[in-house]
């Protein structure tokens, strides 16, 4: 069994990951509307990854005998006034998610809950990747997205992103 506080934190994080998927689909909606289908595609893949994160946490709870409960997912309600705005918001969101994962890890460490710490190791590493991807994308946009040719090329590049399910999902 898991400690109730840790189980609750992970259950809440399931909701946060599903919100992340929702947020990134909202970005995709914006970019699709702006005619930037490559950016939209990139965020559709990102949303799939976020759903995977939620499912990994859900499975961990279920495997440990926890009854998982779902709460309403918050509405993504931001208006984006520029093509760079969602990218900036994406980086800030990933930094926020890192802080949430770190808080769960700290609680697990406080309680010497080694199995949860080991489970969360994957997410700690993943957040390094998530922040780097968001930061790289923002930097590229600032460097190349300022003129129509650069934006076109970047849109083409982002259209080639391929979805790869997390290896941990097949465990």
Q: Choose between 121 and 143: whose C-beta lies nearer to ligand FEO.
A: 121
Tokens 């931001």 identify what position? 78
Candidates 97, 99, 79; CA nearest to 27 is 79
Closer to ligand FEO by CB, 74 or 156: give it: 74
Relative orientation angle of helices 85-110 and 114-144, to the nearest 10 degrees? 160
By CB under 6 A, name the binding residues for ligand FEO: 17, 20, 50, 53, 94, 97, 130
By beta-carbon proximity to ligand FEO, the closer residue of 13 and 155 is 13
- Check: CB of residue 71 under 8 Å from CB of residue 104: no
Distance in Å, CB of 26 to ligand FEO, minimum: 14
Cα–Cα distance list, 148 to 7, 69, 144 (Å): 48, 47, 9
Nearer to ligand FEO, 148 or 170 (CB): 170
**C-beta nearest to ligand FEO: residue:** 53
Minimum gap (Å) between residue 147 Cβ and ligand FEO = 30
**From the centroid of its chain, how far is CA 80?**
19
HSE toward the beta carbon, residue 133, CA cutoff 13 A: 16
CB of 25 to ligand FEO, least distance (A): 13
């Amino acid at each position: 069994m898991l400690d109730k506080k840790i189980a609750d934190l992970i259950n809440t994080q399931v909701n946060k990951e599903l919100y992340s998927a929702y947020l990134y689909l909202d970005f995709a909606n914006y970019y699709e509307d702006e005619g930037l289908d490559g950016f939209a595609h990139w965020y559709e893949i990102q949303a799939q990854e976020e759903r995977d994160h939620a499912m990994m946490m859900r499975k961990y709870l279920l495997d440990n005998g926890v009854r998982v409960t779902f709460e309403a997912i918050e509405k993504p309600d931001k208006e984006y006034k520029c093509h760079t705005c969602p990218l900036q918001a994406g980086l800030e969101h990933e930094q926020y998610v890192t802080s949430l994962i770190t808080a769960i890890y700290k609680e697990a460490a406080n309680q010497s809950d080694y199995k949860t710490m080991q489970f969360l190791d994957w997410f700690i590493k993943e957040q390094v990747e998530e922040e780097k991807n968001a930061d790289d994308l923002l930097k590229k946009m600032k460097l190349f997205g300022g003129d129509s040719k650069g934006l076109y090329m970047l849109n083409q590049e982002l259209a080639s992103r391929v979805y790869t399910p997390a290896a941990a999902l097949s465990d």
